[in-house]
Amino acid sequence: MRNRNVVGLVAAIAIGALVLTTALQAGDRTEKDPQPRDVTVIGRVVDLQNFMTGKYASSDHAKCTRDCIRAGVPVALQTEEGLIVIGQGEKGPQRIITPFAYQEVELKGKLFQRHGLRYIDVTSANVVEAAEPEEEEELDPWSPEDEEEQEDDY
């Protein structure tokens, strides 16, 4: 009789574990995680070590970021909406991303999202050129409009 109770208890535990495992696996395939999509995003290329700790080895943040990328530290794109982890499939992001360390870039690739984390599988990268400020039109102090005012002043 005692063996039957133990067997029943073990069976109940096994069934419970199976149900829990199935539920957790089903939770991994949630419909809340959108399908990967082709995107173009703009942001600053950062390595997670320096970015998260705020401790750069020197004042040259680009060099520190490049060194960390070459050493295999994970890389991300700092955007206005937050960080996007950067990758390039099985090759890793080093070949494409290293020259753009700590620069504003435009990345193209496939964006994956899961459990709030965003990852871009990069296909191309280009430096974002800083927009040139519009030149303000200088007022000519001797324009005809101003001549009348200037004559009144004397």
77 and 8, same domain (yes or no): no
Rounded CA-CA distance 62/57 in Å is 11
Domain-embedded: residue 139: no
Closest CA to 101 of 36, 49, 32: 49
Count the Cβ atoms, other than its own, within 10 Å of residue 56.
19
Boundaries of domain holding 13: 1-30
Domain-embedded: residue 141: no
25 and 49, same domain (yes or no): no
How many structural domains does the chain have? 2
Which pLDDT score is estimated for 14? 43
Which pLDDT score is estimated for 94? 80
122 beta partners: 109
Domain-embedded: residue 133: no
Rounded CA-CA distance 47/60 in Å is 14
57 and 107, same domain (yes or no): yes
Domain-embedded: residue 54: yes
Rounded CA-CA distance 148/144 in Å is 7
Which pLDDT score is estimated for 19? 40
119 and 86, same domain (yes or no): yes
Cβ distance 41 to 81 under 8 Å? no
Domain-embedded: residue 152: no
Which pLDDT score is estimated for 144? 54
Q: What is the CATH number of the domain that holds 51?
A: 2.40.50
Domain-embedded: residue 143: no
Walking along the chain (154 residues) 10 residues at a time, the average pLDDT comes out as: 49 44 47 85 96 93 94 94 88 85 96 94 90 57 51 52
Domain-embedded: residue 13: yes
Which pLDDT score is estimated for 41? 97
